[in-house]
Amino acid sequence: MRLVVLAGLAGVLVAASGAGALAASHPPAAPARPAAPAAARLAASASQCAACHRGIEDAHSKKTLACTTCHRGDPRAKDKQRAHAGMYANPSDLRVVAQACGATDCHATIAQKVKANIMAHRSGTQSGTLFPNALQPTKEQVRFSLAPVPTTPGLSLPRGQPLPPGALARLDPLPSFQESGDIVFDLLRKECSSCHLWTRPTAVRGNFRATGCAACHMPYAEDGKSQGGDQAMPRGKVGRPIRHQLTKRIAVTQCATCHNGGSRAAMNFRGLMEAPPEGRQTFTYDQDLLHGHAYTTQPADVHFERGLACIDCHTEREMHGDGQVYAKRHYEVEIRCESCHGTPDKVATGVTAQGRRLRNVFVAGAPNATGTVTLVSKLTGKVHPVPQLATLPTQPAGHEPQHLARTECFACHTAWAPTCYGCHIKADYTAYQRPVQVAFDHLKEEYAKQGWFRLTAGVRFADPEPVLGLNWRGKVVPFVPRAQPVFTYVNPEGQTEYAFKKFGFAHNPIVPHTVVRASRTCESCHGNPRALGLGLFTSREHPKLGEFQQPRDFRWDRIVDEAGVPVQQTTVEGARPLNREEMDRIRRAPYKLAPPERREATR
């Protein structure tokens, strides 16, 4: 008898023995299906599970299933070890989902799609780090993923049909440090790979979740403690879902278990921005702090203020994928502002950029003179009227066709963008005799004997007037730092080989998810050199940046020079800073503040 851990309900041990043991890297073959009478007998005897799990909720309320239909194990056993032998703690874990949720026609297609979806492999995260550091030849020639197994399309295309734009034939697991010899690969495996569907989260308040399908569909409380009725699941023990129930009503807090970092969408949406660190050392944050950070309160997104959740805008196709493996996130996103709010000359159609009708948006029949469009919340069921640009009494400045053709709606209607300049990363590769507790490889699920990283953040703030650039659609949007790391490297002998070395700096387009009704002022773009990407912030304005030992006049937010030549990378194909012609056109626009009137000199 031995114990193996399945990445699922955090901390759940699964008893297994012999050839039936479930190894995390080698999921078992699908068990033979019993004949119908035998299956009926097993279902009938599954009440033995309830003898211990008294009060447990029905996980699959749409159609009641026997416990062993999903979890396997022995339903007739009367002791824990025999009952849990060969059991799946989390049947939706991507290592075993094909033998559980995906074993029938009900969820087989979805399970195949999800394994190819970007939330499972996170191709954009690692390629956005490898490319600016010269470890990937082009922005979209992605070779690796943050999944522990090769990633291939979940659904086959018709014979002769080429891959869609941005799609890839295969991704291999990100190499380990032993395989690559490069600290950037190791950094990704240890610091950037705990937020996807294959791996378990860090045990920090707000991060608790399962893996696989249950990462979304079986919500956790922020403190990771159960609120259910299962008598075998102590309420005080951390690492349990709220209840043993699957749901399609997914709250923002569940999205935030992963989307609290990177672009921080689930935090921005609720008006939360990481507080700036203090002093020269990175905080050792208490686990009781939300996602390990302190937060400042900022204006929340108007959609959140009106009671909407992430799932009210984002679609099933975006969450599950279409079965193909895409290089970047924007290929998976189909929603646009216009899908719900229309344009100044046309009421919304409720159709996405990929031509799919939104299931929860309803447009009144023609002629629809009143511009009636409603949205039914997938979370609460509440009906929300959707304001239409076409019904505004007068169109405000910026709604001119030529302006809208070049600018995304949120370029003006963003209240703030999450901004973080500078990050010192100390990479310590001192060779130790024993594994180092702070050097955890999330893909191997083990501690390493060398290679631990200490990250010291620079200046973090909610930028009310972010830098501008062009996104992959060629439209003006806010830009924020993708990464601005300076590295210190300690070799295996414990000697520092270099300190505060600047690696690949990058700024990228962002959808901040901080939409407000009021717009950014015209002059904040057209009369603001910083908005054009020419930069303003040095260590004089932000003394904290002086700790990173760059030249005192180095402008951390400068992404392009006056001639229109980029000075920082972007990692999204087609996205770039403004060129000289575009900067000049913005400067010449008639929206700048008029100069102050000159007063006559008094005699």
Per-residue pLDDT of 547-590, as tens digits, reads 999 999 999 999 999 999 999 999 999 999 999 999 999 999 88
pLDDT in tens, 584-598: 999 998 865 544 554
pLDDT in tens, 213-224: 999 999 999 999
pLDDT at position 208: 95
Reading the block at residue 365, the tokens are 């029949």
Report the b/e string of 540-556 with b at 16+ CB within 10 A: eebebbebbebeeeebb
pLDDT at position 278: 55
Rounded (10°) angle between helices 123-130 and 183-191? 150
Give mean pLDDT, residues 258-286: 78
How, if at all, do strands 485-490 and 496-502 pair? antiparallel
- For residue 31, is pLDDT > 60? no
Give mean pLDDT, residues 133-152: 95
List, edge to edge, every strand of the sheet that includes 506-509: 467-470, 476-483, 506-509
DSSP state of 509: E
Which of 15-19, 126-130, 457-461 shows the lowest per-residue confidence on average (mean pLDDT)?
A: 15-19
Looking at per-residue pLDDT, the higher value among 275 and 368 belongs to 368
Give mean pLDDT, residues 457-461: 90
pLDDT at position 316: 96
Positive or negative CA dihedral for 96, 100, 102, 103? positive
- For residue 143, is pLDDT > 60? yes
Reported as half-sphere exposure (CB side, CA atoms, 13 A), residue 476 has a value of 26
pLDDT band at 483 (very low <50, low <70, confident <90, very high): confident
Q: Are 273 and 416 in contact (CB under 8 A)?
A: yes
Q: Are 275 and 310 in contact (CB under 8 A)?
A: no
- Amino acid, res. 33: R
- For residue 277, is pLDDT > 90? no
**Percentage of the residues of the chain whose pLDDT score is greater than 90:** 76
- For residue 44, is pLDDT > 70? no
Q: How far apart are CA 406 and CA 334, in angstroms?
A: 19
**Percentage of the residues of the chain whose pLDDT score is greater than 70:** 88
pLDDT at position 597: 53
- For residue 7, is pLDDT > 70? no
Reported as half-sphere exposure (CB side, CA atoms, 13 A), residue 260 has a value of 25
| pTM reported for the whole predicted model | 0.89
Q: How far apart are CA 174 and CA 489, in angstroms?
A: 21
pLDDT in tens, 144-200: 999 999 999 999 999 999 999 999 999 999 999 999 999 999 999 999 988 899 999
